[in-house]
Structure 1
Amino acid sequence: MAVYSMTGYANVQKSTASGTESSAVNAQQIGLELRSVNSRFLDISFRLPDSARHLEALFRDALTRSLRRGKVELRLTVNRSRQDGPEDPSAAHMHRLAALQNHVRNWMPDAKPLSVADVLRLCSADDSAEVSIEADDATALVQDAIAQLKKARASEGERLKSILLAQVGQLRELGLRAQPLIPKLVEQQRERFLQRWNEALKVGNGAPLPEAANDRALAEATAYAIRIDVAEELNRLQSHLTEIEQLLGKGGEMGKRLDFLIQELHREANTLGSKSAALELTQISVDMKVLIEQLREQVQNLE
């Protein structure tokens, strides 16, 4: 199954004609445009001419059945033209334009009178508002647009998938770099604790302590070494990375699951940094956080 981004664009056009043999044929050019960006949920908005408002429910149903997440805008445009040239203006149009012209020129005597081209253009604009779209045409248009949008979202999703897998690979390498440092760092911290313990004894009267006190010191050193041991965090981090790779390989709807895994990765990287007792581990933690933040930004675009 494909990996889908929430970012995509589609634009489809359809020509329809209406009229009778005894009248000039009117051609309608219908355009349907879909734009999609990321969103936590499916958020649909419409930009429709007044004559196509009744199609909103049809469009919404088609989109909700095909898409899961994203902020989607649907825009419908309709242009009508007569195939045999301009239509003769009606008497009502002529009368209205003449009245409007007289009213304007009463206030603005220097205004130029309407030309023939102006009259034809204004009457054509009035006619183009009266458009009709059949439900079958609207259904075919929106289905074609959705198919194009999903294709665009799948193409963008594949690009994001390759970026995410590369970043996951870099995080895995950082984890593998940190792994060999753990036993050495734990032993170093244990020895440092015992050294400071012995130095503290020298500051005192130098009297030998009971064997129980020495055992207690050794136990404290061991407990401290365990507290700074980040092996568990690194193992969990590798496990989360494996799950991300599996999700990307499986495809389909995964954005919310990936959001959760990114949060877990960030928690492990934070813990690694807070437990770090060496500069090298601290730098690895910082590099991990940078990559995880980049992952988060990319994952926000996945469906």
Structure 2
Amino acid sequence: MERENHSSCPDFLLMGFSTEPEQEAPLLVIFLTLYLLNLMGNLLIIILIRFDAQLSTTPMYFFLSHLSTVDICFTSTTIPKMLNNLRVGRKNITFAGCMAQMYFFMAFAITENFLLGAMALDRFVAICQPLHYFLLMNSNRCHLMVFVAWSLAHLHSFMHTVLMSRLSFCGHRLIPHFFCDFQPLVVMACPPKHLSEMLSFFEGGTIIIGNFILILISYAFILQAVLHVPSTHGRSKAFQTCASHLTVVILFYSSAIGVYFRPLSSYSGEKDKVATVFYTVVTPMLNPFIYTLRNEDMKAACRRALEKLRGRHRM
């Protein structure tokens, strides 16, 4: 098959979820609903934390506000383009647009990975070193952790995107996905592409799997500390402070690791699309509900906000 360089080739085509036109309208409604729920839920969390005096000064909720910001950016990288493709029936994307979409998708995904690690560290310090919590998790240190998370994520994404942009693509330009993800693009690329594959597996594995292992270690220490709490009420309260974060960790890593950390030869477009939807669309949409429905501080902040609104309405 003739080897083609990206500069002389037409746009990529995103297959999306269906080739049947009659299925596009229902899919548009479903994904638009999920996207709007994601936007409203995460914006609610950001606003509550920003304007609630008790939440805005707590490190855990500082990290949560950044996590909600990342979730909005994460889904906004892929979903609007997919919705537009479903609406107009055209599924093309330029090479530059494809590289940009992949860059921001990877950057926000890795940022979320680091933020989940920072939140696990926060819970570890809060439960295992409670007397030193505000000293160890001071404002400067929290801001530094967030800065490092965003910076390393964009550096990682930039490196992968540069390598991908240097590859050529053989034959068809049809991407069996609803956005420009790393895996289907590498599968489509002409040899040699071993450097991109190795970098994805080892360097990506170090960042994702390594961070996940650190989170598990943190929770092992947390569990050990909680089991030594003498009262049942104390143990229950300690578990509740971790339940929301641990739920989000399980949802994010279970699907992400299942999709990205296996040989590229086993890549399956249809199965992987479903799994990718789970952590790119469903999990960011569920995060606000997890943190508000299972978190007493967030529910109390909601009540305070509603009371303020009622007070202003009466005046």
Using the size of structure 2 for normalisation, the TM-score is 0.27
Give the TM-score, by structure 1 length.
Answer: 0.28
- Name which structure has the greater RCO, CA cutoff 8 Å, separation 6+: 2
Between structures 1 and 2, the one with greater strand share: 1
